[in-house]
Each structure stands twice: as C-alpha cells, then as structure tokens.
Amino acid sequence: MTRKSTQPAPEAVNGSQVRITVHHVTRVEGHGNIVVDVRNGTLERCELEIIETPRFFEAMLRGRPYTQASHITSRICGICACGHATASLRATERALSVQLSDQTVLLRRLVMHGEMLDSHILHVYMLVAPDFLGVGSVIPLATSHPDIVKRALRMKQFAGELCAAFAGRHTHPIAMTVGGFTHFPSRQQVEALRERAEALRADVDATVELFATLPYPQFERETEFVALVQPDDYGFIDGMIGSTDHPPRPVDEYRQVTNERLAVHSTAKHTAHQRESYMVGALARFNLKHMHLHPRAQAAAAHLGLSAPCFKPYYNSVAQVVEIVHCVEDVVRLLDTALERGIVPEDPAPVTLRPGARGVGAVDVPRGVLFHEYQIGEDGLIQEANCVIPTGQNLGNIDRDMRALVPTLLSEPEDVIRHRLEMLVRAYDPCISCSTHFLNVEFVGK
Amino acid sequence: MAHQPETVAGGTLVLGVGSLLMGDDAVGVLAAQRLQGHPDLPPGVTVLDGGTAGLGLIPVLDGYRRAVVVDAVPMGLAPGAIRRFVWHEARPIPHGGAVSLHQTDLTDALVLAETLGMLPPEVVIFGVQPGHLEWDRPLSPAVERALPQLVDALLGELRSE
C-alpha cells in the first residue's frame, strides 16, 4: 500500500492551529509519513506513520530447508543484505550446534565491516550531507561538490569489493553458507584489498574533516540505547545485548528486550525495553562501547565533538562517521591477520539436526541490532521464524523525539519545522522497507 | 553485478543492465551473457553484467572511451523493437536520487557519471521495448525473438569505430 504522494501543503487555520501536510519524506529507504497535530498550542499528535505493506518474510521461510534461509532473508534489504544473511546464518548455526572455525569468524567480520562501510558512506554522504550543503539530493551535489561525491563513490566501491571478495557479491551474498564459506579469495586479492584499505585513509580523514564542519542540530533527549556488546571489542556479530539501562542479556533473551507490539499508525511493530522506547544504531553502539574503538576512531570522535553518553539523535550520523574510521582501521588489521594465517579453503562446519532445534542470531547491522530466530525440524525444514529489524526498534524512539522536538520549534516557520523533522528521521537512517516494511510529513495545527 | 575485470583504459565497455527476475528487464543482462566469449567479439572489448547496480555502475564506466549500454527501455514501440541511440540525443529523466537510493536507476547513474566527468566520451544505448516487466516471468515471446537480432546489432556496433 502506498499513498499517493502530495507536495507539502501548509494550511494556516489560525494563530494556534496550523495544518501542514507533507507526504513522502525523501532520502530514507521505504515509505512513511510524519504527522504533527498541534491544536490550541497543544501537541495532540506527533508520529511517524509507517504505511508500507508488511512483507511476510517469516511466513515465506516456513517449510523451506534451512540452507535457503540466508539467501531468502538477504532479500529483505538491498543495503543490509550481508547483515541479514549473517544474522540468518547465526540463527541456523546456533540452532544446529555448528562450531565455526576461526577463519570463518574472521571472514564474516570482514564482510560485515564492508557492509557497515558501504551503508554508512551511502547514508552520510548521499542522504545526510545534502541537508547541510544546501542541495536537495545527490544529483545537484555532484554539480556543487563533485569532489565529495567522487570520494563517496570511491569509498563505496572499496566497501562493495571487500564484501564481494569474501561473500561472492555485495548485494545478496552468495558465498556465505551455513557453517562457513563456499569461496575463498586468493592471497593476491587479499593483498590488493589490504593495500587499498590503507590507501583509503586519506579519504577517511577527508570525511572526518567534512563532517566536523557541519552544523548538527543540538536537540537532545535522554533515552535508552541498545546494542550488541562484546568484551574488549567493537564487534558487530554475536555477543550480549547491552543496554544503557540494564545489565547485558544473552541474545536468546532478545524478546525480553524487544517486547514487540502493534502500533495503530504503523505497519511495522514498535518495541520497548526499560522505557517507553529505545534507540539502536551507530549512536547506541558508540554510547555502549566507544572505549573499544580504534584509537584513530576515538580521535575522530573527539574532533567531531562526539562524547559518550550522547543523547543527541542527529549525532547518529556523526557516530556513523566514527564507525567508518573504525571499520577501515579494523579491516586493515583483520586483513593483516588473514594474510599472516593464510586463507585456506575449508568445508563448512557440520550441522547437527534434532527435533525442535531453536536458535537466535544477532548482528549489529548499520542501523542497529538485528535478530533472526528460527525453529528447525529434524528434517531440516524451518518450522518457525521471527525477524526483528533495527528500524522497527527505532520507530517508537523517533515518535518520542519528535514529540519533544516539535514544542521547541513552534516559533519557527513551518518549512523549518518540516525540514528539521525530516532531518531527524533521516538521522536514524531508517530502512522502512526492511521494517515492514517511506516518508511523508503531515502537520495538523500548531 | 558481475565482478569487474581489469578496466581496459580507452577501450570499449558493453554493459548489459536489468534484473533477471523482472520479465523482459532481463534482456540487457541476457545479451551481455551471450556476448561474453562470443567468437566474433572484437579484441579490446569488455562485456559486463551490470545487473541492478544503480550508482555502483559509475566507477565501472570510468576510464572507457566508449560504452555500449543495453537495457529494456519503454519507448512506446512494439514489444521486442530495438532502437539504437546515443546518450547525448536522449532526454534523460532522472529519478532525482532524492526519493531513495533503493530506486536509483540507470538514468540517474549516467546523469551522475556525466556530471562528475566519469562518463565515457561516447555512450551508445541499445534499448529494447519490453512486453512485460513482471516478477518471475520469462522473456515475452517478442523479446525472446529479438535477442539474436540484438546480439548481432551489438556485434555490428562493436566492429564499427
């Protein structure tokens, strides 16, 4: 279901009631509307409507062999395909007691770093930067700031090739399988990637310099942050579910964190843990485990004015820039390890089928923590599946940020309010297609 | 998108684009597959399956002297009709890239590449009028019949300078 998109149509009712309708907030993935209703100076309604059709991937998995799950679920998203595949594989592997080799763990990490880089570069350069550089999209940005767009494309290309070297291809990876990989790059390929990763530092430094100059809105609201945590590591795969409000929980207890519920205005479910809502994503990860960032990433955070705890949602994009620095450094380190150990072709680790096997896979993908849970029968067919997507977990928090933000903006012209709200939603880097699975803004009175 | 081989600086790139899952949108990719390894393919020509890579196609195009792009193009002709046109004669209607980068298409990629000075000096497009663009359908009979003609037309183009 998509609603016909309309242009922003401000309608002044009187001094205390203004009706503004904007359907289709752009530069986010998927379809949603922002609705703001202020009557007689009172905020009556302020929410992100999610109107995209649910996609029923969980139902598609039922009755399918476990070997197909990662390939089917990677289609949930064209940006986080590797993240969905990895969460899917981890759910299956944990259900079927698969013990991964150190090499598989290392290669999976490289793939996730590639995806994190690709997604963050896309978001900060092509979706966020136009807001600050006074252009409507990446196409005019290419005219006004060609060097910036070329740099972004160069960095994205590296990220995509990193994923492809290990996962066969970036979008919808093919070489990752239950228990391991079906393809291994040559030593020369790995050496070439290592050289390019190191050479990317100049672009990374230029990225930090660019984003350090942008005037981020300073709005802040205290909330709970949730991310995967690991001892002594800024990792993205496995670990415990960390929270700024609660001791870490095992990933098997994810339902006690997510507590999914239906929201009337959204075809994506909302979640709540210790408060009415929580936030996942780069800022949540930064707040929970900044101490494990690479020293260059920590220096970048200081230069960008980001310190923990940070309750400013617009700074999620800043945290993404910090993660770009971290990932490039970590890729260099991981590739060094791979070269030192040598990459040896190996068979996938074996599975143990048993009745009613159940497993949870958790991966901190670019937009936040992603859970897949499967129940697999002794015949290897999936009996039950559940996927909890990061954007879904952020929706409640976006609503509450908007409710806190709008009253501070009522003296501003409507165009400013609208733009600020769109920027807020974009800061969360929502992937609405994944969570239901667009964005329109509607104001009703002010 | 297929893995990118070494760029032949100054050479010709044939780029078949589209989705194999979307009926006649597959025609560009299928044409590229038929050209790869074709005995009549002139030397110095790189053939790539560009899939649905969108903006990812920009770095792929950079460095070639000539690009021959093959894609399903709705032109209001009979299904299977093939039309050759050069990029500068076409009137691109970019999506704008503003809506969502999930939706960037070939036109956006070409416009952006041109703006950035990364588009080969010569870009020729072979458009094939699709009959249908639905999920999970094979090529329509008219486009299936046009495929050998398309491959011949591309080989003819590649032989010409």
Q: Highest mean pLDDT range out of A3-7, A406-410, B24-28, B110-114?
A: B24-28
Q: Highest mean pLDDT range out of A90-99, B59-68, B108-117, B136-145?
A: A90-99
Average pLDDT over residues A251-257: 97
Question: Could you say which DSSP state residue A127 is in?
Answer: I
**Percent of chain B having pLDDT more than 70?**
84
Residues of chain A in contact with residue B118, where contact means CB-CB under 8 angstroms, are 150
Domains annotated for chain A, with CATH where assigned, are: 57-393 (1.10.645.10)
Contact A164, A185 (CB under 8 A): no
* B138 in reach of chain A (CB within 8 A): no
User: Residue A190 belongs to what H/E stretch?
Assistant: helix A187-199
pLDDT tens profile A316-333:
999 999 999 999 999 999
What was the pLDDT predicted at A30? Answer: 61
Q: Give helix A282-289 / helix A316-341 axis angle, nearest 10°.
A: 70
pLDDT tens profile A202-220:
999 999 999 999 999 999 9
Q: Which of B100, B111, B118 sits opposite A139 (nearest CB)?
A: B111
Structure tokens at A444: 């009703």
A416 or A440: which carries more pLDDT confidence?
A416
A172 or B154: which carries more pLDDT confidence?
B154
Question: CA dihedral defined by A342, A346, A348, A350, rounded to 10 degrees?
Answer: -110
What was the pLDDT predicted at A9? Answer: 37
pLDDT tens profile A101-129:
999 999 999 999 999 999 999 999 988 89
Q: Highest mean pLDDT range out of A18-22, A38-42, A69-73, A111-115?
A: A111-115
For residue B49, the Cα-to-chain-centroid distance in whole angstroms is 8
Q: CA A255 to CA A62: how far, in whole Å?
A: 20
Residues of chain B in contact with residue A430, where contact means CB-CB under 8 angstroms, are none
What was the pLDDT predicted at A41? Answer: 77
**Percent of chain A having pLDDT more than 70?**
88
Interface of A with B (CB under 8 A): 24, 26-30, 78-79, 122, 126-127, 136-139, 142-143, 146, 149-150, 153-154, 156-157, 160, 164, 169, 171, 433, 438
- Asked if A79's CB is within 8 angstroms of B102's CB, the reply is yes
Burial class (CB in 10 A: 0-12, 13-18, 19+), B20: middle
Residues of chain B in contact with residue A29, where contact means CB-CB under 8 angstroms, are 100-102
* B109 in reach of chain A (CB within 8 A): no
- Which chain A residue's Cα is nearest to B118? A150
pLDDT tens profile B30-69:
999 999 989 999 998 999 998 877 778 888 898 999 999 9
pLDDT tens profile B74-91:
888 999 999 998 887 776
pLDDT tens profile A391-424:
889 999 999 999 999 989 888 888 888 889 889 9
Q: How confident is the model at residue A93 (pLDDT cuts 50, 70, 90)?
A: very high
Q: CA B113 to CA B121: how far, in whole Å?
A: 11
Q: Where are the alpha helices (DSSP H) in A68-170?
A: 69-73, 81-95, 102-121, 129-132, 138-144, 146-167
Domains annotated for chain B, with CATH where assigned, are: 12-159 (3.40.50.1450)
User: Residue B31, SS3?
Assistant: helix
Whether residue A7 is predicted with pLDDT greater than 50 in this model: the reply is no
Q: CA B15 to CA B29: how far, in whole Å?
A: 8
Average pLDDT over residues A65-88: 89
- Which chain B residue's Cα is nearest to A146? B116
Distance from CA of B43 to the nearest CA of A (A): 26
Structure tokens at A266: 């959204």
Contact B48, B1 (CB under 8 A): yes
- Asked if B58's CB is within 8 angstroms of A30's CB, the reply is no
Give phi and psi for A116, each to the nearest 5: -60, -45
Whether residue A438 is predicted with pLDDT greater than 60 in this model: the reply is no
What was the pLDDT predicted at B78? Answer: 95
Average pLDDT over residues B10-14: 91
Contact A218, A210 (CB under 8 A): no
- Which chain B residue's Cα is nearest to A167? B3
User: Residue A24, SS3?
Assistant: coil
ipTM over the 0.95 cut-off: no
- Asked if A164's CB is within 8 angstroms of B97's CB, the reply is no
